[in-house]
Amino acid sequence: MSKIIARLGLGSCGVAAGAGEVWTALQQVVQEKNLPVQLEKTACIGMCFEEPLLELSGAGKANIMLGKVTPADVPSVLEGYLNDNLQYKNIVLNDRQPAVHNELIANQKRIVLRNCGKIDPEKIEDYETAGGYQAIRKALQMQPSEIIELVKNSGLRGRGGAGFPTGLKWQFAHNAKNAKKYVICNADEGDPGAFMDRSTLEGDPHAVLEGMIIGAYAIGADEGYIYIRAEYPMAIRHLRKAISDAEAKGYLGKNILGSQFSFDLHIKEGAGAFVCGEETALMQSVEGKRGMPTIRPPFPAEAGLWGKPTNINNVETWANIPWIMINGAEAFRKFGTEKSSGTKVFALAGKIKNSGLIEVPMGMPLRDVIYKVGGGIKNDKKFKGVQLGGPSGGCIPAELLDTTVDYDSITKTGAIMGSGGMVVMDEDTCMVDIARFFLNFTQNESCGKCTFCRIGTRRMLEILNRITEGKGELEDIDKLEQLAVNVIKGSLCGLGQTAPNPVLTTLRYFRNEYLAHIVDKKCPAHSCSALLTYSIDPEKCTGCTLCARKCPVGCISGEVKKVHSIDQSKCIKCGACFTNCRFQAVIKD
């Protein structure tokens, strides 16, 4: 019998879902039953919501992927596949027959994620077999100016948020007159709901390294740093292994591949400060200083790390470079729009069925991203909005769902592309509370250097807290808008300049919810606990007493098999009665 391959996803999401135990079971079953199965590890293919994911292939059989695999499933799955009698409830991908998530993959174009979920990220040989490190071989046969021109022609824009043309950024650093230059990979991923960098570095670290090596050669740098938050232990471990293996094979270090070009790469672990995602604050942190933004100009291309010319790109930007080098600028431009070429990686989170990592062509409508790739809204509820661009982004409402995913179109809505965090919200989401949540995050993460960012966001947060507690006044809306303008104008870095975006966009598209909170003292989404009232429907109450037993403050009274009632003066609005009632007798209003 020919040997088959069983490849298990062991990224962070897989391990959290129990993939470690599945791996142990695979090893035991293969050994005990002497099965002709080759076990391989990989990272996440992006379908985090289906983890643990097990791919089976080989021996002329269909290539299939199974979702939500448990250790108990392993014996029957392996033997069933080997004997062409697989009976499994959750086949998520199949290259020969229809499967539940075939369309999810078919609607994507994977350039950055081309190897994620397919190779073992800890084996440099797997990356080489997939075509890895051919791009640097090609680059070393070219002049630096030719590489920069290629990147310019590709139309690649920085995927870290601002969307600045990558080739132009490289040109500035290349033109800088200094013998010492640096390149930096910004992997300080701090947005709530974002995990693009983590998954890419866990799944294909060599692609990022190769992109940085090519960039360093193009601008004339001989040293680089990957700035990554310490909360990503698996990504850091894979990076360290990748750097060590690349050095051993001559892709890093002195005289790379026998050339005159030398390049050393280091890892700098950040302590988790959101502001260190801003490039000047990041460089301060690398230098061992407190991570606080500095005034620009001078820009990093002129005077960056330790005062030397520096080029900074994020994980996704660097990972695009090897593909562009091998396939060419025109091939990259075939995807996307005139001003936003290529693809974009998004982390889908929130009230969406297919939460995970996706990569789609620029120009795809948000509607297709959410419904065709994301599978739609959980429990088939009504779509309300999507927060795009993280805490610095904005909320895009249902009426703008046909907006295309490109830099200019997203910016027109008041949101920003950002690094790719996409938090989906349904009809049960309070948009005032969402604005409060994101502003609370940015207010806590402010470095405090700028008065408007430090104090202005605090005043805005206090107003939002009052509104969600039913203590807001109509003039609070004007105050919010005025403070927002001042915070934007008075802040030094992008954190403060974009912090008001969630407030401004929710005021723009969901002003009626603010008015309901202020005028009617009601939360239309029934989300803000201070504005809720719980009561019991006498026609549905059976007198089972469960609500009374679950109430933490004893505010519910009533005899067995008789209608119960809630003492509103004692109710703390925790919702325990609503959650536990089996007969939908508790009303939330």
For residue 37, how many C-alpha atoms fall within 13 Å in the half-sphere facing its CB?
29
pLDDT single digits (tens) 539-560: 999 999 999 999 999 999 999 9
Average pLDDT (367-371) is 96
pLDDT single digits (tens) 404-428: 999 999 999 999 888 888 999 999 9
- How many other C-beta atoms are found inside a 10 Å radius of the C-beta of residue 213? 29
Contact assessment for residue 279 and residue 239, using Cβ atoms and an 8 Å cutoff: no
pLDDT for residue 494 is more than 90: no
Q: What is the pLDDT of residue 464?
A: 97
pLDDT for residue 518 is more than 70: yes
Q: Name the packing angle between helices 431-445 and 501-509 (round to 10°).
A: 170
Of 41, 62, 61, 63, nearest to 52 by C-alpha is 41
**Of 153-162, 502-511, 517-526, minimum mean pLDDT range:** 153-162
pTM listed for this prediction? 0.93
Average pLDDT (115-122) is 97
- What whole-number distance in Å separates Cα of residue 228 and Cα of residue 328? 29
3-state secondary structure 477-498: HHHHHHHHHHHHHHCCCHHHHH
pLDDT for residue 392 is more than 90: no
- What whole-number distance in Å separates Cα of residue 322 and Cα of residue 329? 11
Give residues with Cβ within 8 angstroms of 184, minimum separation 6. Answer: 224, 225, 226, 227, 279, 282, 283, 286, 304, 305, 310, 311, 312, 313
Q: What is the pLDDT of residue 1?
A: 57
The widest CA-to-CA distance across the chain, in whole angstroms, is 88
* Dihedral sign for Cα atoms in the order 465, 466, 472, 476: negative
What is the DSSP secondary-structure string of 445-479?
A: H--S-SHIIIIIHHHHHHHHHHHHTT---THHHHH
What does the radius of gyration of the chain's CA atoms come to, in whole angstroms? 26
pLDDT single digits (tens) 153-178: 999 999 987 789 999 999 999 999 99
Q: What is the pLDDT of residue 119?
A: 98
The separation between CA 321 and the C-alpha centre of its own chain, rounded to angstroms, equals 20
Of 84, 52, 46, 80, nearest to 66 by C-alpha is 52
Q: What is the pLDDT of residue 400?
A: 97
What is the DSSP secondary-structure string of 99-144?
A: -TTHHHHHT---STTSSTTTS-TT-HHHHHHTTTTHHHHHHTTS-H
Using 50, 70 and 90 to split pLDDT, how confident is the model at 310? very high
Using 50, 70 and 90 to split pLDDT, how confident is the model at 391? confident
What is the DSSP secondary-structure string of 511-575?
A: HHHHHIIIII---TTS--GGG--EEE-TTT-----HHHHH-TT--EE--TTS--EE-TTT-----
62: phi then psi, degrees, rounded to nearest 5:
-65, 145
Mean pLDDT of the chain: 95
pLDDT for residue 300 is more than 70: yes
What is the DSSP secondary-structure string of 242-282?
A: HHHHHHHTTSSBSSGGGSS--BEEEEEEE---GGGGSHHHH
pLDDT single digits (tens) 462-477: 999 999 999 999 999 9
Contact assessment for residue 522 and residue 509, using Cβ atoms and an 8 Å cutoff: no
Give residues with Cβ within 8 angstroms of 444, minimum separation 6. Answer: none
pLDDT single digits (tens) 274-288: 999 999 999 999 999
Q: What is the pLDDT of residue 191?
A: 85
Pairing of strands 383-388, 394-397: antiparallel
Q: What is the pLDDT of residue 411?
A: 92
Opening angle at CA 327, ends 321 and 331, nearest 5: 100
Q: What is the pLDDT of residue 473?
A: 96
